[in-house]
């Protein structure tokens, strides 16, 4: 539980204690006033606490990478639109550290690649981009598919530590071992020289099709002019995906590289099938139903802002942001976070919906507890004696003693005189009308008459 929540509950307890003391020590009006004041203050504090933006940490890296840059821009967007959720970017060394922080619980969200696997109980919020495997070969070799690379030399532009392992798994799926394909990691600026000189037969790179770095690699393959003439565009090799996703990883999906996707070299000349591995934003699901509901509400806000503010994000980072909605249909292989699912299904998980069960539980249990407490305190508290009633009882006592003990008439007369002063003082303090004082006046006159009658009887006996 956060420090803010602890403060709210601590203040609520103090206010409840003050209200209880007011009930025990003051009149009923002040008790009701104290309870209403305490309820108003608690409600105000609760509203302030609930309306505060939820802050979630997100693991993204490296420091100067596109993911960290995108999340920092997203932080600005959320603040600018005063969203109900805010992000705190935790920069890391890359995707592997992102996953490790999410698994340890050191981050609430993380950017990972789907072929890394989802740690713990985490699930997808959005698909940030799809990393398409683009394999390019010089046109002179007349290669058309990846399976034709057996016995060839393949250069890999590794922009992530996961790229080499992914390419190796893909080649093994086609029955090609390290001895069958000479796979070497190369740099992007070496592609032109290696393919022009015939030292590489193909080059592979993972990345979005719209990524300028991917387009630059395609343009560099065998791109040197010959005799002043521009060469024919390279070949984009097709990848047969039959059974690949089931045998390799749940994250593998079929992607189509459209015709003329790389317009500078005008390739490919027709649609080409390839493999795509999504880079996703994932969030964990905290333990406990209440915390899980609060997290779902926050993730729904994140999903909504990422999807609906893509254009604004693109302007801030300076390149097209290709964020996609996750597939929320039944039977999908990638798990979707409940918050993202609520946004996609347009499900209401507002604060009232989130806390409706708790609200009714508090009303039911709180009302019962309050009723029992009031009844118990009423039973234990000594009943208040009405001062007017006490003086009326004393008047009745004077009447009885005047009849039974005539030798005490002088003392009873003095007591009646004192009692008259007390009654007048009390009546003045209460500011009662004539109708309210009539019974008191009648009782006083009856006591005075009883004393007079007793004196007359005593005088008659003496005569």
Residue 248 has pLDDT above 50, yes or no: no
Residue-level pLDDT at 43: 65
The mean per-residue pLDDT over the stretch 277-303 comes to: 90
Domain 3-124+285-355 shares a fold with domain 128-280: yes
Residue-level pLDDT at 245: 47
Per-residue H/E/C for the chain: CCHHHHHHHHHHHHHHHHHHHHHHHCCHHHHHHHHHHHHHHHHHHHHHHHHCCEEEEEEECCCCCHHHHHHHHHHHHHHHCCCCEEEEEEECCCHHHHHHHHHHCCCCEEEEEHHHCCCCCCEEEEEEEEEEEEEEECHHHCCCEHHHHCCCEEEEECCCHHHHHHHHHHHHHCCCCCCCCEEEEECHHHHHHHHHCCCCCEEEEEECCCCHHHHHHHHHCCCCCECCECCCCCEECECCCCCHHHHCCCCCEEEEECCCCECCCCECCCCEEEEEEEEEEEECCCCCHHHHHHHHHHHHHHHHHHHHCHHHHHHHHCCCCCCECCCCCCCCCCCECHHHHHHHCCCCCCHHHHHHHHHHHHHHHHHHHHHHHHHHHHHHCCCCCCHHHHHHHHHHHHHHHHHHCHHHHHHHHHHHHHHHHHHHHHHHHHCCCHHHHHHHHHHHHHHHHHHHHHHHHHHHHHC
pLDDT averaged over every residue in the chain = 81
pLDDT in tens, 336-384: 999 999 999 887 555 445 555 555 565 556 656 665 665 566 566 556 6
- Domain spans in the chain, listed from the N-terminal domain onward: 3-124+285-355, 128-280, 387-462
The mean per-residue pLDDT over the stretch 264-271 comes to: 93
Residue-level pLDDT at 429: 77
* Least-confidence region, from 55-59, 62-66, 392-396: 392-396
Specify the pTM. 0.67
Q: Which CATH class is domain 3-124+285-355?
A: alpha beta
The mean per-residue pLDDT over the stretch 92-111 comes to: 95
Q: Which CATH class is domain 128-280?
A: alpha beta
pLDDT in tens, 66-89: 999 999 999 999 999 989 899 999
pLDDT in tens, 411-430: 888 888 888 888 778 777 77
pLDDT in tens, 2-37: 445 455 555 555 655 555 555 555 555 555 666 666
- Higher model confidence: residue 138 or residue 449? 138
């Amino acid at each position: 539980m956060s420090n803010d929540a602890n403060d709210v509950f601590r203040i609520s307890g103090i206010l409840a204690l003050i209200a209880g003391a007011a009930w025990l020590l003051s009149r009923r009006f002040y008790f009701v006033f104290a309870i209403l004041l305490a309820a108003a203050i608690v409600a105000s504090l609760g509203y302030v606490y609930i309306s505060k933006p939820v802050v979630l940490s997100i693991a993204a890296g490296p420091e100067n990478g596109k993911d960290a840059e995108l999340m920092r821009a997203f932080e600005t967007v959320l603040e600018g639109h005063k969203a109900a959720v805010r992000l705190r970017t935790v920069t890391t060394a890359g995707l592997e550290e992102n996953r490790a922080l999410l698994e340890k619980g050191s981050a609430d969200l993380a950017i990972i690649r789907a072929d890394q696997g989802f740690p713990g109980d985490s699930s997808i919020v959005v698909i940030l981009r799809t990393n398409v495997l683009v394999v390019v070969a010089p046109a002179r070799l007349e290669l058309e598919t990846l399976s034709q690379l057996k016995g060839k030399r393949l250069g890999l532009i590794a922009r992530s530590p996961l790229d080499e392992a992914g390419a190796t798994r893909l080649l093994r799926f086609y029955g090609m071992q390290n001895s069958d394909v000479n796979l070497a990691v190369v740099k992007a600026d070496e592609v032109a020289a290696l393919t022009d000189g015939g030292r590489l037969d193909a080059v592979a790179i993972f990345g979005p099709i719209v990524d300028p770095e991917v387009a630059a690699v395609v343009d560099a393959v065998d791109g040197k002019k010959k005799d002043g003439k521009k060469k024919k565009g390279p070949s984009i090799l097709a990848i047969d995906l039959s059974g690949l996703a089931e045998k390799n990883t749940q994250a593998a999906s079929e992607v189509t590289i459209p015709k003329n996707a790389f317009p500078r070299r005008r390739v490919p000349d027709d649609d080409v099938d390839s493999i795509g591995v999504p880079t996703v934003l994932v969030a964990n699901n905290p333990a406990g139903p209440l915390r899980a509901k609060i997290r779902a509400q926050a993730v729904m806000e994140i999903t909504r802002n990422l999807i609906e503010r893509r254009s604004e994000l693109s302007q801030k980072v300076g390149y097209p942001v290709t964020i996609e909605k996750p597939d929320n249909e039944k039977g999908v292989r990638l798990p979707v976070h409940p918050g993202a699912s609520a946004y996609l299904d347009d499900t209401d998980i507002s604060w009232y919906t989130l806390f409706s069960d708790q609200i009714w539980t508090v009303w039911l249990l709180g009302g019962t507890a309050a009723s029992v407490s009031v009844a118990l305190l009423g039973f234990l508290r000594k009943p208040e004696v009405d001062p007017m009633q006490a003086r009326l009882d004393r008047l009745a006592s004077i009447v009885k003693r005047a009849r039974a003990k005539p030798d005490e008439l002088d003392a009873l007369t003095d007591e009646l005189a004192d009692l008259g002063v007390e009654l007048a003082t009390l009546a003045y303090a209460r500011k009662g009308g004539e109708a309210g004082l009539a019974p008191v006046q009648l009782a006083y006159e009856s006591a005075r008459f009883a004393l007079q009658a007793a004196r007359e009887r005593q005088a008659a006996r003496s005569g």
